[in-house]
Amino acid sequence: MLLLLFLTIPFVYSADPKCPKDFHLFKRNATSKNNHTKHWCIGLFEYENLGNHDFARSVCLANNASLTLPENGEEHKAIGKIAADQDMDGVHAIDGQMSPKCKLRYFKYERATVNYQNIRCKQNESYEFDDANTDPSYLYRLISGSSKAGYFSEGGDPLHYHVADCLTLRYSFNAKTNSTSSGAGVEFCEGEGLRNYETNPVDSVVCGRHSL
């Protein structure tokens, strides 16, 4: 009886990780920056008004997952392929929201109380993330300097300031030119600019969760 028990334990613990329906499995290098995560499941889901960070978060939670983002170029490209296979738009909401500390700096800049050179926050202070299992280093490399913020103010007294409410990811392939377009930023996020957000809504979100 004891011999049978010992023989079955290795089999149970050697089972390959799997993802639930609509998620895809990715192998990762486990480090302290991704909470020592070896396997991560990523899925794309469609819904309306996902340029709103809370709406995007709610869609992921409804699928027993959290907002997530690609940890490397391979995951980024794979997300683009998944989106193409599902006939989704090339811009997707991902994890990441500007920290209150950085928002305040932009607001102060708009009021001319902070020099432009002093706006930029330190990398680890720029954004806050729901997903503790993904290293955001790749994301920071993707975000261009011109798209890190996305902010504007409306008239009135006092002025009403807005900062982009989310981060978005894009990856698309042009068959005619055999070229790709990829990056991350605040395009079409609520708060980036009302006109841009209303005419180009974000209708898909990248969600992640642990494997089964």
| Per-residue model confidence as pLDDT tens digits over 96-105 | 998 888 888 7
Whether the Cβ atoms of residue 36 and residue 51 lie closer than 8 Å to each other: no
CATH T-level assignment (fold) for domain 23-30+40-152+159-209? Mannose-Binding Protein A; Chain A (3.10.100)
Of these ranges, 50-64, 78-92, 130-144, 146-160, the one predicted with the greatest mean pLDDT is 50-64
Residue 39 CA to residue 105 CA, distance in Å, equals: 37
Mean pLDDT (whole number) for 1-27: 70
Quick one: pLDDT at residue 175?
Answer: 60
Residue 55 CA to residue 142 CA, distance in Å, equals: 24
* This model's pTM is above 0.95: no
Residue 111 CA to residue 124 CA, distance in Å, equals: 25
- Of the two residues 211 and 165, the one the predictor is more confident about is 211
- Of the two residues 77 and 115, the one the predictor is more confident about is 77
- Of the two residues 163 and 22, the one the predictor is more confident about is 22
Where are the chain's structural domains? 23-30+40-152+159-209
